[in-house]
Amino acid sequence: MVNSTADTVADDGVCTLREAITAANSNAASGATGGECAGGEASPTVDTITFDIPGAGVHTITPVGGSAGGSDLPFITEAVTIDGYTQPGSQPNTNATGAINAVPLIEVDGSGSGHCFFVFNSGTNTIRGLVINGCHAEAIGLESGSTTFIEGNFIGTNATGTAAQGLDAGISMFVQGGGLTFTVGGTTPAVRNLLSGITNTAISVFTNLNSSIAATVQGNLIGTDKTGMLAVPNRNGIGAGGAGSDTMVLTIGGSATGAGNVISGNRGSAIQLNGFTANSVIQGNLIGTAVDGTSPLGNGGVAIHTGDAPVTIGGTSPGEGNVIAYNGSDAFFHPAVFVETTKSGTLIAGNAIFANVGLGIDLDPLGLTPNDDGDPDTGANGRQNFPVLAAGIFAGGTSVGGTLNSTLSTTFRIEVFANDACDPSGNGEGQSFVGANDAVTTDGSGHADFTVTFAQSLPAGTILTATATAPDNSTSEFGPCTAAPPTTTSTTTTTSTSSTAASSTSTSSPTTSTSTSSPATTTSTSSPTTSTSTSSQPPTSTTQPGDVCASVPVGPTFISLDCRLAAVIAQVSAESGLGALQPKLLDQLQKAKTHKEKAEMLCRQASKRRTRKELRPAINKVVQFLRTLKSRKAQTIPQAVKDALRAAAAGIRLDMEALQRAVQCPQDAPPA
């Protein structure tokens, strides 16, 4: 029983953590004086290190490790349970989901150490109920041969779980030749961990030399405070990979109550699975949202990046889908789900994917992959073709039709999703799963017509998208969105005379009104309508420039992009309804135009590589413009204004990306 925060090794009547680990390893007491650590027992008995340090509040143990002129805590070489919740006054978490309400009172401050704990044995180990921070290497290192449970800890934060305390790496391993099984968290309330405020990756799993790892990560908060509502960022959430002939299977989350993790608020990626991670499963997690599943925290990079297959992301049974939202900081390089492998078999099903900066699903290479007739191409998920839903505005009801062109005489699963808005790419994300058809079979030419029926009726104008999944569980990117309902915009011209004149036009029925002091008279036709009224207040309206690009064909060309950017800049300059966001929006557009002009100049000089590179920041600025229009500060902007600006900017972004992929220099750059 540890009864002191000291870091001594002496027969002095106290039991320190350092002495307790040594006693468990050696099966010998730390001294003969009363109060010393009792000796452990030989394997297979699992020793338990408990705590009873006098006094109330948090008790901080600061090992005098290698970086402070001493030595790090001993490696754990015999099976042991280190249980911080045995300290009087401490309390394990009792919430099955949501915030963690644990009160750990044993803190290990590794600011003078490399590693804080390192497990190196073939037994079963548990590290529970500790606050671990400050370590210059990892909080917990694992090596071959052990089965380890990491439960109910605060790793990387302070003892209250509210702020970063400094830690280089969280749970880390590099297994070379051998096997390892470990579980971080679990489905019962008391075992949930908080892993946040870590300089590098929270959970890092790597192998070499014919090794095997089975890892389970469930019920944890990774990148947030203990409430799950505020970001306390790690660099990355979970990273894994191997080499040689390794096998590594990760189960991240699950469908059972309490199995899902919150992986949000991190500066980089949430989950990155590199090579040798086939058969891993990612289910039931909140990736990019707070613990409530709706509030945005995001992750700065890709939400899920896979480099091997098969991998399962979501599923077709209740509770298996992930929520993947608000992720990424670069529209081209940060899709929500990026499948970067030459293999097939990555299933992406039943998830809620929305409000991410990049594509919802992106099959390598980066950027939208166009369909090809008969789908003969190869690559990530066979670059599976996406389905195309019936064109136009969804009429409402309990079903939608569409077509799929893909591998000949093959049966596919089509999933349909409802969305609040279309992704700026035009090919959507998938916010709410609404229905599926598992029996869509192509004919001998690779064509299939299909209908997907919903569990409940959807209103007219709902924006729908769809994916297709082949028999080998290879899922496509999202197909095009159905059209959004039309919005009404108006134009007002006011002239100051003895009477006030207002001219208003609408997409549904143009209207011209004149306000004078004369009595009201009204004349009507089917369209347009002319009316005269005594209204003393002029109508609230927006001002938009005329279509200055009417003579320029719309498309992925420098001249079209130049004209359309100028038109949107003019529109933003004239739009008083943008309020305090107007300068920011103008700056984003002006910088996009500047980068576009520089790219065009480079293309005239026949520098294709530099042209493509310069188009990237232009695209990023347009994406920032779109994000600003979606921000909370933009809620006061009239919806019609936002819709018009988003539509124009989304088209510009799409054509910029298309130009970046296919530009030919100097022929695509007209003479100055």
**Residue 509's pLDDT is what?**
35
The residue written with tokens 């790892």 in the block is: 213
Q: Which helix (H) or strand (E) holds 529?
A: strand 529-533
Instruction: Could you please state the CATH topology (level 3) that the domain comprising 365-486 is classified under.
Output: Immunoglobulin-like (2.60.40)
The alpha-carbon radius of gyration of the chain (Å, integer) is 30
**Residue 635's pLDDT is what?**
85
Number of Cβ within 10 Å of residue 399's Cβ equals: 13
Which residues, other chains included, contact 58 with Cβ-Cβ below 8 Å and sequence gap of 6+? Answer: 104, 105, 106, 107, 131, 159
The residue written with tokens 């790597």 in the block is: 206
Measured at the alpha carbon of residue 380, what is the angle toward residues 617 and 649, in degrees to the nearest 5?
Answer: 30
Candidate from 334-348, 384-398, 524-538 with smallest mean pLDDT: 524-538
Pairing of strands 411-419, 463-469: antiparallel
Report the C-alpha gap between 280 and 547 in whole angstroms: 52
What is the DSSP track for 104-144?
--EEEE-TT-S-SEEE-SSSEEEEESEEEE--SSEEEEE-T
State pTM to two decimals. 0.76
Q: Which helix (H) or strand (E) holds 501?
A: strand 500-504
Confidence of residue 67 (pLDDT cuts 50, 70, 90): low
Tens of pLDDT, residues 596-606: 989 998 898 88
3-state secondary structure 207-239: EECCCEEEEEEECCEECECCCCCCECCCCEEEE
Report the C-alpha gap between 267 and 358 in whole angstroms: 16
Candidate from 78-82, 317-321, 464-468, 624-628 with smallest mean pLDDT: 624-628
**Residue 245's pLDDT is what?**
65
Q: Are 336 and 360 in contact (CB under 8 A)?
A: yes
Candidate from 109-118, 175-184, 442-451, 462-471 with smallest mean pLDDT: 175-184
**Residue 624's pLDDT is what?**
86
**Residue 248's pLDDT is what?**
85
Of 267-271, 491-495, 546-550, highest mean pLDDT: 267-271
**Residue 583's pLDDT is what?**
87
3-state secondary structure 318-347: CCCCCEEECCCCCCCCCCCEEECCCCCCEE
| Residue with more model confidence, 502 or 447 | 447
Cα distances from 207 to residues 88, 144, 201, 203, in angstroms, run 39, 10, 16, 14
- Statement: residue 536 has pLDDT above 80: no
Give counts: helices (H), strands (E), the chain.
Answer: 5, 40
536-539 contact pairs (CB < 8 A, 24+): 538/492, 538/494, 538/500, 538/502, 539/490, 539/492, 539/502, 539/504, 539/513
Which residues, other chains included, contact 496 with Cβ-Cβ below 8 Å and sequence gap of 6+? Answer: none
- Statement: residue 562 has pLDDT above 70: yes
Mean pLDDT of 68-95: 94
- Statement: residue 511 has pLDDT above 70: no
Which residues, other chains included, contact 602 with Cβ-Cβ below 8 Å and sequence gap of 6+? Answer: 610, 611, 614, 665
Residue 493's nearest CA partner among 550, 544, 555 is 544
Mean pLDDT of 64-92: 91
Which residues, other chains included, contact 152 with Cβ-Cβ below 8 Å and sequence gap of 6+? Answer: 84, 85, 92, 93, 102, 104, 128, 129, 190, 191, 192, 193
Identity of the residue numbered 519: P
Confidence of residue 516 (pLDDT cuts 50, 70, 90): very low
Asked if the peptide bond before residue 365 counts as cis, ω within 30 degrees of 0, the response is yes
Q: Are 277 and 241 in contact (CB under 8 A)?
A: yes
Percent of the chain with pLDDT over 70: 89
Mean pLDDT of 604-611: 87
**Residue 520's pLDDT is what?**
35
Mean pLDDT of 171-199: 93
**Residue 65's pLDDT is what?**
79
Q: Are 136 and 93 in contact (CB under 8 A)?
A: no
Pairing of strands 106-109, 47-49: unpaired
**Residue 556's pLDDT is what?**
87
Q: Are 349 and 475 in contact (CB under 8 A)?
A: yes
Residue 119 φ then ψ, to 5°: -95, 125
- For 333, the token pair is 């390089």
Q: In what order do the strands lie in the sheet with 361-363?
A: 117-119, 138-142, 169-176, 201-208, 236-241, 271-273, 304-306, 337-339, 361-363
Q: Where are the beta strands (DSSP E) in 343-429?
A: 346-349, 352-354, 361-363, 388-389, 397-405, 411-419
- Statement: residue 499 has pLDDT above 70: no
Query: What angle in degrees, to the nearest 10, is found between the helix axes of 582-604 and 639-662?
Result: 20
- Statement: residue 419 has pLDDT above 80: yes
- Statement: residue 607 has pLDDT above 80: yes
Q: Are 248 and 212 in contact (CB under 8 A)?
A: yes
Q: Is the dihedral of CA 595, 598, 604, 608 positive or negative?
A: negative
**Residue 484's pLDDT is what?**
86
Tens of pLDDT, residues 292-338: 999 999 999 999 999 999 999 999 999 999 999 999 988 778 999 99
**Residue 537's pLDDT is what?**
31
- Give the up-direction half-sphere exposure of residue 149: CA atoms within 13 A in the CB hemisphere: 20
Domain 558-662, CATH 1.20.1440 — does that match? yes
Alpha carbon 184 to its chain centroid, in Å, reads 21
Confidence of residue 362 (pLDDT cuts 50, 70, 90): very high
Residue 661's nearest CA partner among 556, 554, 564 is 556
Confidence of residue 68 (pLDDT cuts 50, 70, 90): low
Report the C-alpha gap between 475 and 310 in whole angstroms: 11
Tens of pLDDT, residues 264-283: 999 999 999 998 899 999 99
Report the C-alpha gap between 90 and 640 in whole angstroms: 55
- Statement: residue 519 has pLDDT above 80: no
**Residue 502's pLDDT is what?**
35
Confidence of residue 242 (pLDDT cuts 50, 70, 90): confident
**Any idea where the domains of the chain sit in the sequence?**
365-486, 558-662
Mean pLDDT of 131-139: 95
- Statement: residue 527 has pLDDT above 60: no
Q: Which helix (H) or strand (E) holds 654?
A: helix 639-662
Number of Cβ within 10 Å of residue 10's Cβ equals: 13
Report the C-alpha gap between 514 and 517 in whole angstroms: 10
**Residue 143's pLDDT is what?**
86
Alpha carbon 49 to its chain centroid, in Å, reads 39
Tens of pLDDT, residues 212-235: 889 999 999 999 999 999 999 999
Whole-number average pLDDT of the chain? 88
Tens of pLDDT, residues 148-172: 999 999 999 999 999 999 899 999 9
Q: Are 430 and 467 in contact (CB under 8 A)?
A: yes
Asked if the peptide bond before residue 480 counts as cis, ω within 30 degrees of 0, the response is no
Confidence of residue 550 (pLDDT cuts 50, 70, 90): low
Candidate from 16-25, 481-490, 541-550 with smallest mean pLDDT: 541-550
